[in-house]
Amino acid sequence: MIGRLNHVAIAVPDLEAAATVYKDTLGATVSAPQDEPDNGVTVVFVELDNTKIELLYPLGENSPIAGFLAKNTSGGMHHVCYEVEDIIAARDQLVEKGARILGDGEPKIGAHKKPVLFLHPKDFSGTLVELEQV
């Protein structure tokens, strides 16, 4: 069902500082910040040969990342994202197997402008999992 690892998302308390570390210290290619108001985040993508790192920063008062950073003030890994061919088929298979889909169960458009779903971390060893249709 799952395909490639699309990205690992890291919530950060200072987006500019985090992007600078990846760019200047690690020598990575780093995108410009991109506001995603529908998802309550500003994102920066760190491009790697085999995947991406997504740096997440809260956008607005109701950002889901704000709560994460309140508990993890230095930041930390927020989620992993796997690619799927058909997000509806993947969702239906997962629900049939007992996995819980967060939200209303319907895909939303993610930062890559593709349909995404999030899976409950308690069903995946404490890790928040995002599925993204390729």
**How large is the C-alpha radius of gyration of the chain?**
15
What gap in Å lies between CA 47 and CA 63, rounded to an integer? 24
pLDDT at residue 122 in the model:
97
pLDDT at residue 47 in the model:
96
Q: Which of 54, 83, 130, 132 is catalytic?
A: 130
Q: What CATH code is carried by the domain that includes residue 11?
A: 3.10.180.10
The pLDDT of 6-27, averaged and rounded, is: 98
- What's 101's DSSP letter? B
pTM to 2 decimals?
A: 0.94
Q: What is the pLDDT of residues 33-88, one digit of tens each?
A: 999 998 999 999 999 999 999 999 999 888 999 999 999 999 999 999 999 999 99
The number of folded domains in the chain is 1
Residue 47 annotated to the active site: no
The burial of 130, by beta-carbon neighbours within 10 Å (0-12 exposed, 13-18 middle, 19 or more buried), is given as buried
Contact yes or no for 80/127 (Cβ under 8 A): yes
What gap in Å lies between CA 125 and CA 33, rounded to an integer? 31
The pLDDT of 88-97, averaged and rounded, is: 98
